């Protein structure tokens, strides 16, 4: 699942982070999980997380001995919140450059 369209005009690394977090909306992700899912360097990831946090697009929670990062609910598409899947046409529309 991908972040809402209105949040996709950010730098590519930030969009990759948001997309990864939206995919794991309920559980969130650690920095290490994010790094492997977004496939970015740790330096780029730090910069992206800093920017996303400053803009209020992510939430950081302490869970025992680990830190978990989640996408803010306004970033998550309605279909994910309701449990519906993207239709084939919606997915195709997002991937093709029009």
Per-residue pLDDT of the chain (98 residues), as tens digits, is: 788 888 889 999 999 999 999 988 888 999 999 988 888 889 999 999 999 999 999 999 987 888 999 999 999 987 644 444 556 677 777 777 76
Cα-trace Rg, the chain: 13
Dihedral of the alpha carbons of 69, 32, 39, 10, in degrees to the nearest 10: 20
Q: How much is the pTM?
A: 0.76
Pairing mode, strands 66-71 and 58-63: antiparallel
Helix residue ranges, H only, the chain: 12-23, 31-38, 42-54, 78-82, 88-95
CA-to-CA dists, residue 54 to 48, 59, 81, 86, angstroms: 10, 10, 24, 29
Architecture of domain 5-95: Orthogonal Bundle (1.10)
Burial of 41 (0-12, 13-18, 19+ CB in 10 A): exposed
């Amino acid at each position: 699942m991908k972040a809402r369209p209105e949040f996709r005009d950010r730098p590519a690394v930030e969009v990759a982070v948001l997309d990864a977090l939206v995919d794991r909306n309920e559980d969130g992700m650690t920095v290490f999980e994010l790094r492997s899912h977004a496939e970015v360097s740790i330096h780029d990831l730090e910069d992206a997380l800093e920017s996303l946090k400053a803009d209020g697009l992510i939430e950081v929670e302490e869970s025992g001995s680990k830190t978990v990062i989640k996408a803010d609910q306004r970033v998550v598409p309605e279909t994910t919140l309701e449990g519906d899947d993207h239709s084939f046409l919606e997915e195709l529309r997002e991937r093709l450059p029009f």
